[in-house]
């Protein structure tokens, strides 16, 4: 199996949601290990600023991963400019607070599109590129929310649960191609990306409900995004013959 080496020198990685939070922290860690990193995100300006931090190691690729055509174009560009693909980090996700009854069509489409269909489209585009280089590694990032019955986040929780089930199936499906699949379930982090699309009024209501039901005890202070990025690196640099299928990382 290719990959799983002490450094990532010469490898090419794609990080979705790479302009902030866990995605940007991961891009920095991968670049320090010698990888070239393609950052995918929707916002052009934050993406350009993130890529500038990494310098020549980064390629900014603006794209909405919920759009299958946009994913095709993005991966074709990455293949053309960077020549190969070894690592895919499916990190991009969004959360919007609402009960199912209150969910607008656009909320449902955006959440399912970003959190589940986007990773599906990205894996579909990545597999032939990884197979062409003899294998690769996929890391799908989930959330400890799948283990907690959060009202107002039921759709987010459902999409992360679907991503976890997909990871299980992909692990077996892609094994003959030398492609390792790791699922990272992460707890609360210090990044504000998770809450950036929350309506303050609905957030206040949700917080009251979560507090009443004892759902806000996360077992410690939120983790830094760098800690999560180091866990991803740990999975990526296991030697051939040693695969980390599942990592559960939480404050403690």
Contact call for residues 12 and 80 (beta carbons, < 8 A): no
Annotated catalytic residue within 58, 156, 160, 179: 156
Q: For 232, what's the count of Cα atoms within 13 Å in the CB-facing half-sphere? A: 31
The rounded distance, in Å, linking the Cα atoms of 130 and 52 is 27
Query: Are 96 and 111 spatial neighbours (Cβ–Cβ below 8 Å)?
Result: yes
Indicate if 152 belongs to the active site: no
Contact predicate 99/151, CB 8 Å? yes
CA distances from 172 to 167, 175, 178, 181 (A): 9, 5, 10, 9
Could you give the CA distance from residue 14 to residue 58 in angstroms, rounded to a whole number? 10
How far is Cα 145 from Cα 160, in angstroms, rounded to an integer?
Answer: 8
- CA dist 99 and 153 (Å) reads 7
* Catalytic annotation, residues: 156
């Amino acid at each position: 199996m290719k990959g799983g080496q002490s450094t990532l020198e010469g490898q090419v990685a794609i990080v979705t949601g790479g302009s902030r939070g866990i995605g940007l922290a991961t891009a920095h860690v991968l670049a320090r290990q010698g990888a070239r990193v393609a950052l995918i995100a929707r916002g052009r300006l934050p993406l350009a600023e993130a890529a500038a931090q990494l310098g020549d190691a980064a390629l900014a690729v603006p794209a909405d991963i919920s759009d299958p055509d946009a994913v095709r174009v993005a991966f074709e560009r990455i293949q053309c400019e960077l020549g190969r693909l070894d690592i895919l980090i499916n990190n991009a996700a969004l959360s919007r607070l609402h009960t199912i009854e209150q969910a607008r069509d656009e909320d449902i489409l955006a959440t399912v599109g970003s959190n589940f269909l986007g990773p599906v489209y990205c894996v579909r585009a990545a597999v032939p590129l990884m197979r062409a280089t003899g294998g690769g590694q996929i890391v799908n990032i989930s959330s400890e929310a799948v283990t907690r019955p959060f009202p107002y986040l039921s759709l987010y929780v459902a999409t992360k649960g679907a991503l976890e089930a997909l990871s299980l199936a992909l692990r077996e499906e892609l094994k003959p191609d030398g492609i390792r699949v790791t699922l990272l379930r992460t707890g609360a982090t210090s990044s504000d990306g998770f809450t950036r699309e929350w309506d303050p009024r609905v957030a206040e209501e949700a917080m009251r409900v979560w507090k009443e039901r004892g759902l806000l005890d996360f077992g410690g202070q939120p983790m830094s995004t760098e800690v999560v990025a180091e866990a991803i690196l740990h999975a990526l640099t296991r030697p051939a013959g040693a695969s980390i299928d599942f990592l559960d990382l939480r404050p403690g």
